[in-house]
Amino acid sequence: MTDEENTQQTEKVENTEKGENIVYVGKKPTMNYVLAVVTQFNGGMNEVTIKARGNAISKAVDVFEIVRNRFMTNLKNKGIVTSSEELTNEDGSKSKVSAIQITLAV
C-alpha cells in the first residue's frame, strides 16, 4: 500500500465517525437497536440515523419511538425519508424493496 492510499483510508474512517452514525435495524430484538442508538448519543454523537429495509421498517419506527419517548425526550426528529432499493435475487431476477431512514439529533 502506498502512502497516498494509506492517507485516504484514514480520512474515510474519520468521515464515517464524524458524519455517518448509522444504526441498521434487522432481525435482532428491538431493544438491541434502542441500546445502540442511545450508546451513540452517549458517546458524544450529535446525530444518529436509523436505517431499515422491508419488514424491518416497522421495527425501525419502534426503535425511534422508544428512544424518543423513553430514553432521550430532548431529541429532534430531523426527518423521515423512504426510498425503493433494487435487489438482485439468487436466480438473477430483480426485486424492489422499500427502505426507511430516520435521522435523530440532539
- By CB under 8 A, which span of 6-14, 21-29, 32-40, 77-85 interacts with a second copy? 77-85
CB proximity list for 87: less than 8 A, separation 6 or greater: 94, 95, 96, 97
Residues between 36 and 55 with contacts to a second copy, criterion CB under 8 A: 54-55
In the complex, minimum distance from the CB of residue 33 to a second copy, in angstroms, rounded to a whole number: 13
Give the CA diameter of the chain: 49
- In this structure, the number of other CB atoms found within 10 A of the CB of residue 49 comes to 20
Residue 75, SS3 per DSSP: coil
Binding of a second copy at residue 57 (CB under 8 A)?
yes
Applying CB under 8 A, among 73, 84, 89, 93 the residue interacting with a second copy is: 84
Applying CB under 8 A, among 23, 37, 64, 75 the residue interacting with a second copy is: 64
Q: How far is CA 99 from CA 39, 90, 93, 96, in A?
A: 24, 20, 19, 10
| Sites of contact with a second copy (CB under 8 A) | 54-58, 61-62, 64-65, 69, 80-84, 96, 98, 100, 102
